[in-house]
């Protein structure tokens, strides 16, 4: 049950990033690349802490 709840959280995070991504496209490709890398790193870290 706990795993199901966690994967639900992850789905929400992914959806949020996708929206941010679309919004940032307007700014610049370079910005997107950098922020996407940082964001995925942050999400991975957050997920690890959530699972603990």
Q: Give Cα 48 to chain centroid, integer Å.
A: 13
Q: Is the pLDDT confidence value at 10 over 50?
A: yes
Tell me the pLDDT tens digit for each residue of 13-40: 666 666 665 655 555 555 656 666 767 7
Q: How far apart are CA 27 and CA 52, in angstroms?
A: 36
Look at residue 1 in the predicted model and tell me its pLDDT.
Answer: 43
- More confidently predicted of 44 and 24: 44
Q: How far apart are CA 10 and CA 34, in angstroms?
A: 21
Look at residue 49 in the predicted model and tell me its pLDDT.
Answer: 65
Output the pTM of the full model. Answer: 0.23
| CA–CA distances in Å: residue 26 to residues 14, 18, 31, 46 | 19, 14, 10, 27
Locus of tokens 């603990």: 52
Q: Is the pLDDT confidence value at 50 over 60?
A: yes
């Amino acid at each position: 049950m706990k795993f199901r709840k966690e994967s639900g959280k992850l789905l929400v995070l992914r959806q949020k990033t996708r929206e941010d991504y679309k919004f940032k496209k307007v700014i610049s490709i370079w910005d997107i690349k950098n922020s996407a890398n940082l964001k995925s790193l942050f999400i991975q870290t957050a997920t690890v802490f959530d699972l603990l």
